[in-house]
Amino acid sequence: MNSLNFINPFGVREEPGSVVGDFYTANFSRKARPDTIILNLGPQHPSTHGVLRVIVELDGEYVVRAEPILGYLHRMHEKMAEVKTPWQYIPNMGRVDYLHPLAWNWAYVGAAERLAGIEVPERAEYLRVISCELNRISSHLMWWGAFVMDLGGVTPILYAFEEREKINDILQIVSGSRLTMSYFRFGGVSSDIDDRFERLTREFIPYLRERLKMYKGLVTDNVILRRRLEGIGPMGLDLCQRYGATGPILRAAGLARDTRRDIPYGVYPKLDLAIPSGPSDDCFGRYLVRLGEIEASLSVVEQALDALPGGPVRIDKAPKANWKLPAGETYFAVEGARGQTCVHLVSDGGRTPYRLKLRAPGFSNLSLFAEAARGTLLADAIAILGSLDLVIPEVDR
């Protein structure tokens, strides 16, 4: 830092010689002990999986305090909904969570359908389940590979991308995209599946089941991985409930709560849905829950394909581009890869929604980190952060 006084983004002037860098570092440092050091992880750091910044106070290798700092990737998605028509806003959902975009796609479309009283054809509901569960698997695979890489294992992410590419090949047939997918439409889905989609999906299910066996021997049962994860970062039920954690984090803590079963939507009540939970609330428990969810999603996709009925994939009088939502207020929740994903939609009957509030599970899940990381080794704090499966565009919105 040069000799000039530093003025942080909040307009507060820092005197020369003080601990500067920005407002957050200065305020964080004022509470630090004289024998500790302040370290910034991010906002661009491999362990943060996106533009996230975490300030930590270290006593040697041990974390005294940790504070996540958001705002580096904020894009005003909720405000953008107020200036876009319902049709124009659909692609935004794929940009909120690019790893499980179809969950957000479903949450927004479902909220609009509930407000307008639209009944979706049964075939379209089954196609939504199939595509969303395939997308969930690809999200968990991406997490699995990146998480193990955080711990020093590079090989698994190569396998993860290999399987993920196969899922992208399948979903590209109906969505035309491989990342920020937008397949759901008001009143159904954009297109029907063809024989190639069904054939590739049915071939993929037994293929991935065999690969999961290989993952178990290569990674899950690896003594190095287990010693890095077992007993690290316990997040008990009380902690999860205090911060509003959902998804695999809450289920690893022993509460088998899943929106697909507890707040049913689509045709999930017609399918046999396994909900893995436990056996421990540490990093390894969260790891096992997500791998269990991959197996559960494969079973759901298989059941949905076997029970897939005929009929249209969209209602006859589907809303057009100039469609206006009726006046009212609604709330729609789905189970995303990171937890309960919700859309609170308010309309005054105008051309654009009056208000939109997105409930991002990653935001609540990240809130646990400061408490869970306290007193751990820095290397273990990285493992805890990775076990949360954060997607920063969702957290920041």
Q: Which two tokens stand for residue 383?
A: 């493992």
Residues 217/223/228/230 CA torsion (nearest 10 deg)? 90
- Shared domain for 56 and 128, answered yes or no, is no
Q: Which of 69, 87, 120 is the last residue of a domain?
A: 69
- Shared domain for 34 and 94, answered yes or no, is no
Only one residue has tokens 């305090």, namely 65
> What separation in angstroms does the CA of 270 have from each of 52, 239, 273?
40, 33, 9
Please compute, for residue 157, the number of CA atoms within 13 A of its CA located in the half-sphere on the CB side: 12
What CATH number does residue 295 fall under?
Answer: 1.10.645.10
- Shared domain for 56 and 102, answered yes or no, is no
Q: Does the residue 35 lie in any domain? A: yes
Q: What is the pLDDT along the chain (397 residues), one digit of tens a residue?
A: 333 333 333 344 444 334 445 666 666 666 666 778 888 887 777 777 778 888 888 888 998 888 888 888 888 999 999 999 999 999 999 999 999 999 999 999 999 999 999 999 999 999 999 999 999 999 999 999 999 998 888 999 999 999 999 999 999 999 999 989 999 999 999 999 999 999 999 999 999 999 999 999 999 999 999 999 999 989 999 999 999 999 999 999 989 999 999 999 999 999 999 999 988 899 999 999 999 999 999 999 999 999 999 999 999 887 888 889 999 999 999 999 999 999 999 999 999 999 999 999 999 999 999 899 998 999 999 999 999 988 988 988 7
pLDDT computed for residue 7 by the predictor: 38
Q: Which of 37, 69, 101 is the last residue of a domain?
A: 69
Q: Does the residue 1 lie in any domain? A: no
Domain extent, residue 166, equals 77-396
pLDDT computed for residue 268 by the predictor: 94
- Shared domain for 117 and 21, answered yes or no, is no
> What separation in angstroms does the CA of 229 have from each of 16, 149, 202, 213, 254?
43, 13, 34, 20, 17
- Shared domain for 286 and 392, answered yes or no, is yes
Q: Does the residue 145 lie in any domain? A: yes
Quick one: DSSP state of residue 338?
T
* Neighbouring residues of 170: CB distance < 8 A, sequence distance ≥ 6: 134, 197, 200, 201, 204
Q: Does the residue 243 lie in any domain? A: yes
- Shared domain for 169 and 273, answered yes or no, is yes
pLDDT computed for residue 28 by the predictor: 65
- Shared domain for 272 and 158, answered yes or no, is yes
pTM: 0.89
Q: Does the residue 137 lie in any domain? A: yes
Q: Does the residue 366 lie in any domain? A: yes
Q: Which of 32, 52, 69 is the last residue of a domain?
A: 69
- Shared domain for 187 and 277, answered yes or no, is yes
- Shared domain for 91 and 39, answered yes or no, is no
